[in-house]
Structure formats: structure tokens, C-alpha cells
Structure 1
Amino acid sequence: MLDNPAGLLWHRVVFPEEFETDYEERILAEARSIAQRRLSGRLHVRDPRAARELLMLRLLGNPEELFACVFLDSRHRVIACEILFRGSIDGCAVHPRVIARYALLHNAAAVIVAHNHPSGVCEPSESDRRITHQIRETLSLFDVRL
């Protein structure tokens, strides 16, 4: 026991590793939620850097593959930023019709799509290129830019 003038008992609280990881994940999720709330409707996505910064808030630090969409109005202001699909550590099923549905629900003029690579490999795969082409084709039917 440590000597202290108030006579308080000092002890160290030890958290199991799983609790700490879960707690940190909840904090990160809440921080992303707060950031999205503050940025939505006010943020203009004027260039790829702005889009990257917004999407990093949503995708950074997730152990599973996530596919996000940023829905923009005609002046490239953010209407919403949503995670539409979740996958495993190495893949995520993406459906262009769902992206189109959300774009129409948000009355979006444009959509930015992105997904993380939990493996850390940042090069787009052939599958990434193929689904991007399919999304572009689907959205073009509704005059929504990708």
C-alpha cells in the first residue's frame, strides 16, 4: 500500500485484453459517428483529398472489409455517408442495385464509393475494377454520377 496523506487505498484496475479492445472499438465507432454527424450536410467534397479524409474516418481501423458510399447533392455537398456492405477479412459482397436504391432514397446527384482492405494491400483487384464498372453502369441509368 502506498503512503498517502488522505489515507486512501490506491489500487490499479486491470482490464482483460478483450474488454480493452472492445471498449476501444466502441470509442472509435462513436468518434466516427460524431464526426459524420458534424460533417454531413456541411462538407463539400471538392477534390479526392476531401473524399479520402471523410472516408478514412469511416473505414479506418476496421478488422473486416467495409464498403462505404458517400451520397452528394449537385453541388457536391455530403448528404450522407453510409456503410452499405460488410464482409470478412478478405472480401465483401457488393450489389449495385442496393447502391442505386440508396442514391435514389437520398436524392443524390453523385456517389463516391470506397472500401477498405484490412490486409493493408491498397492496390485494386480485378474484382474491384469489375464491380466499379457495374456500379457506374447501374447509376448511369438514373443520371447519378460515380
Structure 2
Amino acid sequence: MRAVHACLLTLTVVFLSSAMTLKPAASLPSPFAKAASTSAATKKIVKPASRGQQSVGTKPARWCGWYMRTQLGGGPEYNLARNWAKRGRPLNGPRVGAVVVWPHHAGMITGRTKEGHWIVRSGNDGGRVRERPRSVAGAVFRKV
């Protein structure tokens, strides 16, 4: 009986993993693209898509890197924020669509305020997904 259960579980995992695909990392995810053009979106609180949650595993306690995986794909090593500093190619400054990485946090730049502050969307920002102006001083910028 255990062998039958193991086979069924294996088949289920194989089927589900083949049915779930992540968005290619080279394209700009549409939620970020839409938010970059609107200033009202900076106050909106957004939850990660359920499809993304299922495809990247259980949300860890420190989950900003995990949230980025729901948006851009990547393996479990990207649950750790600082590993985003090695992904893609380096940029010499902030720009819309760039992944921004601080020593213990990661997010994506989605726009700029009239005052010139960069708007960043990230997970685990105050315990939720938020999009708001943030200082990018001391951060690393990557094109993923």
C-alpha cells in the first residue's frame, strides 16, 4: 500500500511541476509595468499571486526574496535577498524595472515620484507586499 501511495504522490508532483511554469526572467512582469505608470498605486497594498506562491514553495519567515521569485522566477537560493545581487547583469544606477538589492532586502523599482524618489515594490515590507517610495542609497541594481 505504501508503494502505491508513493507512486501516486510522485506522479502528482511530476504532473503539477510540469503544469506550472514561471514567467521568463527577461520580461518585465505586467504588475510592475502597470504600476510604473500610475502614482496612485504607491499607496496600494498588494498580495502575491496565488499561482506564484504554489510554484515557488512555502513562504519563509524572511520572504522578500521569495516574493521576487513569484514575480521573476528562480530557484530556492533566491529566497535569500542578498543572492539577488548576483542574478542577471549589473546596472550602474537605478531605473524602472531594475531589481534593487540592499544587504537584507530586495525589490523592484516600479517608478519615480515627482520629487525624484524611487518607488519600490517588495515583499515583506512591514509584513506585506507594498509599493512605496524608498531610499536606494547603498543598494545594488540588477537587470534580471
TM-score greater than 0.5 by the shorter chain: no
Q: Please give the TM-score of this superposition, normalised by the length of structure 1.
A: 0.39
More strand by share: 2
Q: Comparing both chains, which one has the higher relative contact order based on Cα–Cα distances under 8 Å and sequence gaps of 6 or more?
A: 2
Question: Structure 2-normalised TM-score?
Answer: 0.40
Larger radius of gyration: 1
